[in-house]
Every structure is written in C-alpha cells, then in structure tokens.
Structure 1
C-alpha cells in the first residue's frame, strides 16, 4: 500500500454514482472529454466548461489546472475538491491520468516517476475514478510518446513489467484498475502487444485497455480501418475499460469528424462494450460542443442502421 502524505485522508472505496453494472447506460451518460481540453485556474472552471459543452464525464488530468500530471504536489483534500467541483454539475470522473515514461532509459528517473504514480493511484478513488490510465513508455528519454528503435527490445519489455508490478500492487490496494493504451510510439504499440501483456499478467490483475481506434490506424492504413479495428476489437474487447474518440488526418490526429475515420463503425464497436466511457480527445475548446453533437447523431444513425 502506498504511503500517503500528511493531509491525505483515508480512503473508503465506494462505487460511482449512477446505474448498476447490469443496467444499460445511455450513450449520453457514457460520453466524456479530456478535462485538459479546457485549461483553467480551478477545477470548478474546468467543470463548468465540460458541462457547457454537453458532456457527462471528464477524464481528469491535474495539468488541466496547471499542476503536474502525477500530482505529487497535490494533497488528498485537493483531490476531493476536484471531485466535488464536478459533482456540483452532475458530472463524474471515471478515470485519471498517471502518464509517465514507464520504460525511461534512466532507472533513477523512471523510479522517481513510479513512486509518484503509486501515490496517485492510491488517491484516485478520492476523485471517484475507477481507472488510472498509463503510458507504456518509450526508450526516447525526452518524449514519452515518441517511437524509439529499442522499444521492441527484451530489456524494454522487462522494464515495463517491473514498472507495472509496482503499480498493479497499488491498484489492487486502492480498488482501481490500470488502463494501458496501445500507442504506436510506445512499447505497447498495437493490439497484438496489448494482448500479449494481458496474457502474461493474467485475468486476475487489475489491468485493462484504453481502446483508441485512431492509434491503430494511419493515413496509409485508414482505407482498411474496418478490418484493422475489427481484429483489434476482437482481441481486446473483454479487457476494454475506456475508449477514446479522435480522428486520423494526414498530419496525425484531430477531433472526431474532421478526419478519415468511419465513426458509425467505431460506435458500432463501442456499443458492444456497454457502459464503457467514450472520451473525446484532441478537440479544441471551441469545437468540443460540435463533437458532442456529432457523436450523439452518429450513434443514433448507427443504431438506426443509417450509416454515413
């Protein structure tokens, strides 16, 4: 169990508000956005922006209010204040970022980040969060999302497993789950590597997948997106904890609806994991409401069989 700092209150684990797990969850109630889309001075200001854009959920990152993602300077009372600020608007925080370079080539740098992440995992329930999201890391020492030729090495895989061992212990103690997202620049670069990791760690571990369809595509492969996404979904479906919504464009990624992805098909897939949050990423603040409206419309069209 992580040691909590002075001012970090004891945590009693409680389920999130809302429908029980065996009850259907309306699509609108599953729809969220990255809180750091709206960078503000306070959590209350972020919550206001999220609500005004029409979302029910927010994936939290302390960077949204100018603090570090791993929140080592934030005490437990401040975690509770964030939760309360969102609940005042009827919003929930299903997940929180604890992203750092899990295989940083410098062991001291990596271990320092692990200690901070372990503490964040322990405090995550104070936000109401049930999932803590991670970056599986890269051997690039400067950018945790940048590919490196040594990411596929045995040593990188071993370092990732060691990092996860500490975090999984903290997650078990806190009653939360860790979410790993396949990212092309990271050790877990694709769905097959994610499936390998899940198999090695075992079904009993508090580990699952953040399913981001855009990460599995590129401008060169997007023409085969139905085949690629179906294969990935079939591999990972039982382990999906959350899904991200962004789009593929020639220069990388964008908000949904301005790129090359077939969101009717994406939403058909997401419908097969009932209750899993769908979190909008890479939207500009002024475009967030439009994305919300479009996702709801596409969902209705896909349910009606209308397609694009």
Structure 2
C-alpha cells in the first residue's frame, strides 16, 4: 500500500511546493486538488501550462498523484447546476487522462442546494435515485472515453450512504470504471469501536474488488471527525481486512493539520507493512 494525503492539507497555490511538502512529511502520494494551482477545485477550463506545472512538480518531488478531486453535487435540485458540474467534471477527467492520474473522485450528492456534504431528507427518494443514475451514467461515459476511473465514496450525508447503496448503484450503472473510495469514518455517524469495526468490516467484505482507494479519517465517541488514530475506527483491523481482499492501493489521509501530517504518516505506514 502507498500512504497518501490530501494535497490541499499543505498551504500553497503552486503544485511544486505543495508536493514537496507532502514528500517532506513522509507521503508517497496525494489526492490532488486544483486549489493547489491557485484555481477553483472544479475549473471551467485548464491551460496547458497548468498541466505542465503539475507534471513537473510530480517528477521533481517524486510524489505520485493517485487521484484527482472533482466533487460536485450530482443530485443538486437545480438541473442547470448539475449540468454545469458535469461539464467541469469533463475538464477534470480529460486532465486526469493527460496526466496519467488513474482515479477522479466524486460526490454522489444531496438535495441540499447549498452544501453538497449536508444531508437532506429527500436524498432517499426515488426521484433523487433516478437523477443520480442519469448523472452517474453520463459521468461513466466520460470516464470510459478517456480511460479514467471514478471514485465513489459512501457518505452518510449523500445519496450513496453505505455498501448496500453502492452495490445498488453498480447494478444500475454497469461500468467497470466505477470504483469505491472507502472512508471508514463516513460509514457511520456515531458508534463504539466494536460497532465501527463491524461496519467497516462488512463494507470491505461487500465492496473489496471495487475499492480503488481508502481514506484515513476518524471519528471520536461523540461522532466528531478527528485525526486518524484518535477515534473509534480500528485502523489496524481495517488494514488487515484490506490486505485480505487483495487491496494494495493508496491509503489517503485528510481532515488533519499540516503539523499533524508527519505523525499520521508514521502511524499509517506502520500498519501498511
């Protein structure tokens, strides 16, 4: 396994210094965000100079870019907002293909019009589900055309909440370009360590062959997000189970400060051996 981190953990608007900081903190790879180029996370277009800057930074730092963040609200209640997001996703997918980045990460969305990470009661309606299937089908077509995979992250606030929802999506959109980003802390809201362990284990068992990336984020006993290793997620058990299903991809941490990054790198690397 490769140990990675969200690139935007590190301050900077040029990819060179950002990737060098990730390397210095002990990381092999990053999940990249165009904010690290001084751009919006989902830009309308990209100059060749931006792609060249990213490519040079990757080469000089020795840090692999394992994924590119391209999250927009795939079931936003306004169809025009969804259409705009899909166009920008196309820009990100083409950039990933040009740069040889294998995975573009998504947000399956919420009916909340203001915050794509906030739960809305209409997320579980059949109408929301139909909108997601249409949008994901379009996204899969773009990914297939460019040889890039899409990372879907089950998230309590979004329409794809858990392993069951993800399996249902795979059945409805039969594309081998759809993969899973497994974030253990997003599979529950509040749980004991024993409950969290069982939830994560069941998700790995159900989704193992589809997991392209794991995230390393944690929750405390009150349900608040905390730095990996400081909450109820049993990361040693998670790593053992990922290895058992043949996963050997990137494990990417986020939700931490730049100052915490070296300590978390050491913690995760001790589990990956």
The bucket for the TM-score relative to the shorter chain is over 0.9
Q: If you compute each CA radius of gyration, which structure gives the higher value, 1 or 2? A: 1
Q: CA deviation digits over 1:42-96, x for unaligned, max 9? A: 1111011101001110110112343211122422331232122022111110110
Match of 2:217 in 1: 246
Which structure 1 residue ranges, 4+ long, deviate > 6 Å from structure 2?
A: none
Match of 2:170 in 1: 198
Alpha-carbon RMSD: 1.5
Worse-matched range after superposition: 249-258 or 87-96: 249-258
CA shift, 1:120, in A, is 1.4
Out of 167, 171, 186, the position equivalent to 1:215 is 186
SS of residue matched to 1:88: helix
CA shift, 1:221, in A, is 4.7
Out of 143, 152, 159, the position equivalent to 1:187 is 159
Alignment of 1:56-67 (within 5 A): 56-67=28-39
Answer yes or no: is the 8 Å Cα contact 1:140–1:148 preserved in 2. Answer: yes
Answer yes or no: is the 8 Å Cα contact 1:118–1:166 preserved in 2. Answer: no
Answer yes or no: is the 8 Å Cα contact 1:179–1:210 preserved in 2. Answer: yes
Alignment of 1:1-308 (within 5 A): 27=1, 30-202=2-174, 204-249=175-220, 250-272=222-244, 273-300=246-273
- Any unmatched runs of 5+ in structure 1? 1-26, 301-308
Answer yes or no: is the 8 Å Cα contact 2:191–2:223 preserved in 1. Answer: no
CA shift, 1:274, in A, is 3.2
* Cα 1:69/1:85, change in 2 over 3 Å: same
- Any unmatched runs of 5+ in structure 2? none
Match of 1:24 in 2: none
CA shift, 1:128, in A, is 2.4
Q: CA deviation digits over 1:238-257, x for unaligned, max 9? A: 11111100111225212212
